[in-house]
């Protein structure tokens, strides 16, 4: 449903990933309420773009993974991936900007945006709609930079991840705007895979 609308909307499409460090949650404290701030951020960002005069349409998928820092600390990192059309990259970055403490500016990049080349919208949409339990482990590169590799979520963390994902209806983990009627509400009792399949 959404994919044809996005393709016909016109303008350049962008992929957006946002992981605000304020959304991080210690292991053992993950609750479905941690997604509320993310939903507000998505809706506020879309509203800001409309206020700027951009007619935007998009689909955002909320997920959570476990992160292990280079020092070994493990925490949950709720975040979202989004495909959006109808606004330039600079406007998107302004609308979804994150205010960081002075000591973190230049050290972390919570917002990532990338232009989607013609013909690749479907591939990118498939990527952002992956919802699976992961552990992203940080490591230090030879040049001193920080890289991350993806691994399966350790079994001791899986019950907490499953509990919070089961507590939130799939329709609330998919936030869309500019697509007309509230499509996702038609699938209130559906599983995530079905909702995503129907939307995209």
Give residue-wise pLDDT tens across range 147-186: 889 999 999 999 999 999 888 887 788 888 887 665 555 5
CB–CB of 89/159 below 8 Å? Answer: no
22 vs 180, higher pLDDT: 22
Query: In the predicted model, is pLDDT for residue 56 greater than 50?
Result: yes
Has residue 70 got a pLDDT over 50?
yes
Rounded Cα–Cα distance for residues 189 and 175 (Å): 16
pLDDT tens figures, 126-140: 777 777 899 999 888
In 3D space, the residue among 54, 53, 116 whose CA is nearest the CA of residue 83 turns out to be 116
pLDDT at 120: 80
pLDDT of residue 199: 47
pLDDT recorded at residue 8? 63
Quick one: pLDDT band at residue 84, thresholds 50, 70, 90? very high
Who contacts 54 (Cβ-Cβ below 8 Å, separation ≥6)? Answer: 86, 87, 91
Mean pLDDT of the chain: 84
Closest CA to 64 of 137, 142, 153: 153
| Residue recorded with tokens 């506020």 | 44
Helix, strand, coil percentages, rounded to 5, for the chain: 40, 30, 35
Looking at residue 113, what is its pLDDT? 95
194's CB contacts (< 8 A; 6+ apart) are: 170, 187
Spell out the residues 6+ positions from residue 75 whose beta carbon is closer than 8 angstroms to its own.
24, 25, 26, 27, 66, 67, 69
What tokens does 36 get?
A: 């509320």
H helix runs in 114-156, sequence order: 121-128
Q: pLDDT tens digit string along 100-124?
A: 777 766 667 899 999 998 778 777 8
Token pair, residue 152, equals: 């399966």
Say how far apart CA 64 and CA 103 lie, in whole Å.
25
């Amino acid at each position: 449903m959404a994919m044809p609308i996005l393709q016909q909307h016109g303008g350049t499409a962008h992929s957006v990933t946002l992981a605000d460090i304020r959304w991080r949650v210690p292991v053992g404290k993950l609750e479905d309420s941690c997604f509320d701030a993310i939903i507000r951020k998505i809706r506020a960002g879309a509203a800001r773009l409309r206020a700027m005069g951009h007619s935007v349409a998009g689909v955002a998928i909320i997920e959570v993974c476990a992160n292990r820092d280079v020092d070994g600390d493990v925490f949950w990192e709720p975040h979202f991936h989004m495909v959006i059309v109808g606004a330039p990259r600079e406007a998107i970055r302004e609308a979804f900007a994150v205010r960081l403490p002075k000591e973190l500016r230049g050290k972390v990049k919570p917002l990532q945006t990338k232009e989607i080349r013609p013909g690749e919208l479907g591939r990118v949409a498939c990527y952002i709609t992956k919802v699976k339990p992961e552990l992203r482990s940080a490591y230090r590169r030879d040049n001193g930079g920080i890289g991350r590799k993806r691994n399966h979520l350790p079994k001791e963390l899986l019950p907490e991840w499953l509990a919070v994902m089961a507590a939130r209806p799939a329709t609330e983990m998919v936030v869309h705007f500019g697509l007309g009627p509230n499509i996702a509400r038609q699938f209130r009792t559906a599983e995530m895979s079905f909702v995503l399949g129907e939307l995209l």
